[in-house]
Structure 1
Amino acid sequence: MQLRNALVIGLLSSFLIACSQEPAAPAETASPVTEEATSAASFTAEEIARWEATADNVTILRDRWGIPHIYGVSDADTVFGTLYAQAEDDFYRLETNYINAMGRLAEAEGESQLYRDLRMKLFIDPVDMQNQYEASPRWLKGLMDAFADGLNYYLHTHPEVEPRVIKKFEPWMALSFSEGSIGGDIERVNISRLRDFYDPGSMVAIAEVPFDGEPRGSNGFSIAPENTANGNALFLINPHTSFFFRSELHMVSEEGLNAYGAVTWGQFFIYQGFNENTGWMHTSSRADAIDEYLETIVQQDDGYYYEHGDGLRRLEEKVISLPYKAGDDMAEIEVTAYYSHHGPIIREDDGKWVSISLMQEPIKALSQSYGRTKANDYDEFAATMELRTNSSNNTVYADSDGNIAYWHGNFIPQRDPSF
């Protein structure tokens, strides 16, 4: 991997989209950097050889602000370099996003995170994620492989870095974190009420989210050519997040990838930004994309049932293990979770058990997130929106042809109109 500091001029936070220029080609560099370090993780000689071969196809340039510009032969090469560069910048935040997404935060931070982990594990099952990885299209599997390889190569070349939980990244993990916004759908599940249902009378404290009095909700502005002085569309991205919630970078490959913008730590797509022809950003949506159901429970000798139509259905039971850090040791509790055909049970209301149904299409969600990064015009961008998996966000858009667009949400459940 060629790593160099370079001056890159002309990349702006807000931009006149019709004036996008070709990015500067990577500067000539010396022979690739070699690392003799070995990682404490269990990496095979075959894996290391594969990573080194991929690294030979990647150049990372950093401009005067330290922003990485990643050049690869293939899209997968660029993804490899993108994750490597993100890990260089903030491995802690990157790993934490995946620890949280997979319901493993208590393994790093202790029992106060147990029910946050349970909330995630009600929806994220590693076995299911692995099966979905195997069922993914070849092109997407290649990007997920590159995602894991780039992070593991970073750990291999930086043995001084000690992961809190994830010693080795696996490709399927990318499917657990395909949502790049500051608050995904799962945040609607109240952790305190989840704890009260599954562990009534529990003395386990729940880690509180620090109070942030600043109003939430991003802003995006698309201005049509007829309303601008020079006749070009204007596009402004104004995300309302904490300052370091996302990284900023530039991804280029010889397969047509050329995009710049904000990437949520650990992901391999531009969440909001622009390429040579299109620009996109997201704001928090209040579209009604989540359903909750009141289940009437009937307890019988062999378990719990719920009323459905004129009969009863048995609740599915699933034992979920929740390891947690206890001082210098590890401990574990087990929780028996309940599911109706609608989804997991998350609380009790007035004697009824409440199940929840969220949009859960990780393959389509990751495909949509990456696909919009390479969309060259409105038709291609709109085609990615037809996958309808960006359930928690609105989308603002502009392009070099003068088109502007707004999507209010992107997914609405099909519901019985009689309700």
Structure 2
Amino acid sequence: MGKAIRWLFRIAAALVALAAAAVAVVAYLAGRSLPDYDQTQAVAGLSAPVEIVRDTANVPHIFGEADADVFFGLGYAHAQDRLWQMVVLRRTAQGRLSEIFGRRTLEIDTLMRRFGLYLAAQASVAAQDDRTRAALEAYAEGVNARLAEINAESLGRGAPEFFIFDAAIAPWRPADSLALVKVMALQLSGHLSAEVRRARLSLALEDRPGAVADLLPEAPGPGVAALPEYADLLPERPAPRRVAAAPDDPLWPVPRPELAGASNAWAAAPARAAAGGTLLANDPHLGLSAPAIWYLARLELSAGGVIGATIPGIPAVLSGRSDRLGWGLTSSYLDDQDVFLEEVNPDAPGEYRTPDGWAPFETRRSIVEIEGEAPVTVTLRRTENGPVLPPGRFGLGAVTPPGHVAAVSWTALSEEDTSLGAAIGLMYADTVEEALDAAALYVAPSQMLTVVDGERIAMKLIGAMPRRDAAHQTQGRMPAFGYRPENRWQGTLPYAANPGFTDPPGAIVGNTNNKVVDRPFPLHVSHRWGDTQRVERWRRLMQGREIHTRDSFVEAQLDTVSYTARTLLPLVGADLWYTGEAAPAGTPERRRQRALDLLAEWNGEMNEHRPEPLIYAAWMRALQDRLIRDDLGPLADDFTHLRPLFIERVFRDVDGAGAWCDIRRSAAEESCTDIARLALDDALVWIAETHGDDLESLRWGDAHQATHDHQALGKVPLLRYFVNIRQSTSGGDNTLMRGRTAGEGPAPFRNVHAAGYRGVYDFADPDSSLFVISTGQSGHFLSRHYDDLGQLWRRGDYVRMSLDPELARAGALGVTRLVPDGS
């Protein structure tokens, strides 16, 4: 017996030793891919030496004698820190993820090949101006120099993920960077899904005229962009008060409409700034991931230094500043996608109907390689309106009549896309006028550009606006027949038609994805806007004081007060707050009363440490579901986020919208008060089951955790604890510090879409400007820079955005010197 125990002990010890050795080997190999930031490296492709100075936040400051060398350095730095991210984004654009991930990503690859984004990017290379083409080529050479170094010195394949997902890394090409811009356009575009959803809703509610307008109402008012003069508002100014269903795969590139782009940006002219210089704040919102999509960098170009947020793979500072200019981006919500129902010739399935008769589909075959399996051949079809999409995607099958297929027109499919040229032009601009002129090259994704120089401010929609016929059958709100000439696009509108606001009398401009203009179709810009709520809080904060500072802009950027909660709670709970009856302890009625007591004393601040935000959010979620589930059935699953205008219309009974409160399948006639009470009970039961019975001890931050998940490894057992980042956060769907919730699954209030980058630029003292990203600069999970900036981001802190080279060198983590090969 003792001998057996000794042998078992020896075997166990041997297994432990082998496991430890295996872990050590893996750690060694993974650690080899950690970049050395303090070295001199001879590389091919440079005309003169380049210095990459890493400041204390690991932000690279790149210095070179020629601009091409600086872009080379940016490509090298991106590849040092984010090579895996770049390769995955490129493979997404190419439709080649399945070569490394297997069948899991086959749907993604086939969809991307149907769109043809990478082919359009390849064609667009020829459309670039000389400066942009030179930047693209130099950047690609910088990426490839890092790849050559990795191969020559066996640097762990450049990232630990490449040991798990083995695949050759092709050299970087200029078309790859242009393709990444188009992938970003896909991630910011939601009109295709929204058109289909509106059509499905119209079908489901065809017996209730006007009901679609309740659930999908038009954004009210004339639009908000430039604010009026401060003095004009003084008589009415409130007293100042300080107040603190796509595949479940992170690689899926098409967002649900609720997650298809957001952001905040606002600017103040010197007349509204305490220090006498212009101010600009910008925080673009995208899906959270680890690492973040954003990467901070400084480029020292011939026109001067530029610093701000880049996306690895793209050679441009997309939001940032120079000594002369600051710029920021927000999603414009321009309607730049239309779905067309193409009639197929019943006698010749290879043809479709056009205004001039039957025409053949443009058809080609594409082979998708799948890791570990036989390849799959996909037949791709296009019409004059655009690529044909399968009925199983976007719910198209539910709205496509028999004998038809669905095709999509989209500005991002342009083969003469010069958007990157506009982004590079902004880095060289000296004035607001030059910046707006440079932005004329922009095509997609459409954005609201907020720009300031030392004296002036402006905001303008940039991107190609489709030219539609005034007689369009659905005005682009829903799919329309592609053979009817009045439905087809007629090119694009001139850049001058894009709405813009320069030097307004009130000296403040801003955008929270809200409606900015109220123009009749077809100059309408959009029927669907991303915000009707945050803009009201923003307007209150901007006009609540005459003079602003960098700190007041930071305060607004981090504001967590929900205008929506303040509006809806008194309306929904009007007949519930005080019943005049004392409920016995331990009963659902007592619990409901306690919840209402907490909400009655709440100021609407979505603070992570408070219970009220969770009670409010759960109540509104349950309320909306009760209102629509009876009428929509499974289609209600498409409406997973609170629609404030819908709730307000119902409880104010606008145009008879109160009818939503009556449950159609019950004999009794329910009132809105009945539904509000039942929904609160539903919410409290859900809270008890998922977060506990003690209402006072609830924390919104426990439910509203920011989920920065690794796209490839985030669901791998054990490993996910090392690569995913979780943070308790304040804010919510409708706060300026926006933390868009998942809306589905067992944790519907997870923060999954937020400001991955925040920047505040002060041109009275430019080097006091601030910025931060939501994780860290490195994409290597063994690096101490994988999540270090994320701690600042979570607390609402920033790092200094300085163009002072001596400040960067003073606390440098390292200096990488790239010298021409052979020098």
TM tier, smaller: 0.7 to 0.9
Runs of 5+ unmatched residues, structure 1: 6-31, 36-47, 194-204
Q: Which residue does 1:34 correspond to in 2?
A: 41
| SS of match in other structure, 2:386 | coil
In structure 2, distance between residues paired with 1:414 and 1:127: 24
Instruction: Identify if the C-alpha distance between structure 1 residues 129 and 387 changes in structure 2 by more than 3 Å, giving closer, same or farther.
Output: closer
Q: Which residue does 2:463 correspond to in 1?
A: 410
Q: Which residue does 2:499 correspond to in 1?
A: none
Q: Which residue does 2:324 correspond to in 1?
A: 277
| Counterpart mapping for 1:24-103 below 5 A | 33-34=40-41, 50-51=44-45, 53-54=46-47, 56-103=48-95
In structure 2, distance between residues paired with 1:81 and 1:372: 19
In structure 2, distance between residues paired with 1:216 and 1:141: 28
Q: Which residue does 1:377 correspond to in 2?
A: 431
Whether 1:339 aligns to 2:382 is yes
Instruction: Identify if the C-alpha distance between structure 1 residues 189 and 169 changes in structure 2 by more than 3 Å, giving closer, same or farther.
Output: farther
Q: Which residue does 1:355 correspond to in 2?
A: 407
What do residues 55-102 of structure 1 show as CA deviations (whole Å, max 9, x unaligned)?
Answer: x43110011111100112222111110011111122111221212122
Q: Which of 171, 174, 179 is the aligned partner of 1:171?
A: 174
| Counterpart mapping for 1:363-402 below 5 A | 363-401=417-455
Q: Which of 286, 289, 306 is the aligned partner of 2:352?
A: 306
Instruction: Identify if the C-alpha distance between structure 1 residues 134 and 389 changes in structure 2 by more than 3 Å, giving closer, same or farther.
Output: closer
Instruction: Identify if the C-alpha distance between structure 1 residues 308 and 390 changes in structure 2 by more than 3 Å, giving closer, same or farther.
Output: closer
Q: Which of 243, 249, 256 is the aligned partner of 2:297?
A: 249
Instruction: Identify if the C-alpha distance between structure 1 residues 390 and 405 changes in structure 2 by more than 3 Å, giving closer, same or farther.
Output: farther
Q: Is the 8 A contact 1:258 1:275 kept in 2?
A: yes
Cα displacement (A) at 1:372 = 1.3
**Residue type at the aligned position of 1:234:** L
Q: Which stretch of structure 1 is more off in the superposition, 208-217 or 132-141?
A: 208-217
Q: CA RMSD in A?
A: 2.9
Q: Which of 249, 254, 259 is the aligned partner of 1:208?
A: 249
Cα displacement (A) at 1:165 = 4.8
Instruction: Identify if the C-alpha distance between structure 1 residues 179 and 394 changes in structure 2 by more than 3 Å, giving closer, same or farther.
Output: farther
Whether 1:319 aligns to 2:365 is yes
| SS of match in other structure, 2:285 | coil
Q: Is the 8 A contact 1:60 1:81 kept in 2?
A: yes
What do residues 346-379 of structure 1 show as CA deviations (whole Å, max 9, x unaligned)?
Answer: 1341223111111134541121121112211111
In structure 2, distance between residues paired with 1:247 and 1:387: 24
Cα displacement (A) at 1:339 = 0.8
Q: Is the 8 A contact 1:119 1:189 kept in 2?
A: no
Percent pairwise identity: 23
Cα displacement (A) at 1:341 = 0.3
Q: Which of 101, 104, 109 is the aligned partner of 1:117?
A: 109
| SS of match in other structure, 1:240 | strand
| Counterpart mapping for 1:185-224 below 5 A | 206-209=247-250, 217-224=262-269
**Residue type at the aligned position of 2:101:** E
Instruction: Identify if the C-alpha distance between structure 1 residues 130 and 295 changes in structure 2 by more than 3 Å, giving closer, same or farther.
Output: closer
Q: Is the 8 A contact 1:178 1:369 kept in 2?
A: no
In structure 1, distance between residues paired with 2:55 and 2:178: 31
| SS of match in other structure, 2:181 | coil
Q: Which has the higher strand share?
A: 1
In structure 1, distance between residues paired with 2:94 and 2:350: 28
In structure 2, distance between residues paired with 1:342 and 1:180: 20
Aligned length: 357
Whether 1:260 aligns to 2:303 is no
Runs of 5+ unmatched residues, structure 2: 1-35, 197-245, 392-396, 473-823
Q: Is the 8 A contact 2:345 2:353 kept in 1?
A: yes
What do residues 275-304 of structure 1 show as CA deviations (whole Å, max 9, x unaligned)?
Answer: 111111111232211122111111334x42
Q: Which residue does 1:295 correspond to in 2?
A: 342
| SS of match in other structure, 1:148 | helix
In structure 2, distance between residues paired with 1:389 and 1:156: 34
In structure 2, distance between residues paired with 1:283 and 1:222: 13
Q: Is the 8 A contact 2:128 2:421 kept in 1?
A: no
**Residue type at the aligned position of 1:122:** R
Cα displacement (A) at 1:250 = 0.2
What do residues 102-146 of structure 1 show as CA deviations (whole Å, max 9, x unaligned)?
Answer: 221222212121221222222336666445434543332222211
**Residue type at the aligned position of 1:335:** V
In structure 2, distance between residues paired with 1:341 and 1:128: 15
In structure 2, distance between residues paired with 1:220 and 1:369: 17
| SS of match in other structure, 2:346 | strand
Instruction: Identify if the C-alpha distance between structure 1 residues 387 and 126 changes in structure 2 by more than 3 Å, giving closer, same or farther.
Output: closer
What do residues 175-215 of structure 1 show as CA deviations (whole Å, max 9, x unaligned)?
Answer: 2122585854566666xx9xxxxxxxxxxx94534999999
Q: Is the 8 A contact 2:265 2:283 kept in 1?
A: yes
**Residue type at the aligned position of 2:91:** I
In structure 2, distance between residues paired with 1:207 and 1:107: 19
**Residue type at the aligned position of 1:321:** I
Q: Is the 8 A contact 1:237 1:281 kept in 2?
A: yes
Q: TM-score, normalised by structure 2?
A: 0.40
In structure 1, distance between residues paired with 2:171 and 2:321: 32
| SS of match in other structure, 1:417 | coil
What do residues 212-244 of structure 1 show as CA deviations (whole Å, max 9, x unaligned)?
Answer: 999962111211221121222111122334362
Instruction: Identify if the C-alpha distance between structure 1 residues 400 and 161 changes in structure 2 by more than 3 Å, giving closer, same or farther.
Output: farther
| SS of match in other structure, 2:104 | helix
**Residue type at the aligned position of 1:410:** G
In structure 2, distance between residues paired with 1:89 and 1:182: 24
Instruction: Identify if the C-alpha distance between structure 1 residues 276 and 294 changes in structure 2 by more than 3 Å, giving closer, same or farther.
Output: same
| SS of match in other structure, 1:87 | helix
Q: Is the 8 A contact 2:352 2:359 kept in 1?
A: yes
In structure 1, distance between residues paired with 2:79 and 2:461: 33
Q: Which of 268, 284, 303 is the aligned partner of 1:239?
A: 284
Q: Is the 8 A contact 2:176 2:313 kept in 1?
A: no
Cα displacement (A) at 1:4 = 6.4
In structure 2, distance between residues paired with 1:187 and 1:92: 27
Q: Is the 8 A contact 1:291 1:357 kept in 2?
A: yes
Instruction: Identify if the C-alpha distance between structure 1 residues 357 and 219 changes in structure 2 by more than 3 Å, giving closer, same or farther.
Output: same
Q: Is the 8 A contact 2:325 2:454 kept in 1?
A: yes
| SS of match in other structure, 1:178 | helix
**Residue type at the aligned position of 1:33:** T
| SS of match in other structure, 1:259 | strand
Q: Is the 8 A contact 2:52 2:73 kept in 1?
A: yes
What do residues 2-44 of structure 1 show as CA deviations (whole Å, max 9, x unaligned)?
Answer: x966xxxxxxxxxxxxxxxxxxxxxxxxxx8136xxxxxxxxx
- Rg: which structure is higher? 2
Instruction: Identify if the C-alpha distance between structure 1 residues 133 and 179 changes in structure 2 by more than 3 Å, giving closer, same or farther.
Output: closer
In structure 1, distance between residues paired with 2:88 and 2:417: 22
Cα displacement (A) at 1:268 = 0.6
Q: Which stretch of structure 1 is more off in the superposition, 82-91 or 117-126?
A: 117-126
Q: Which residue does 2:145 correspond to in 1?
A: 153
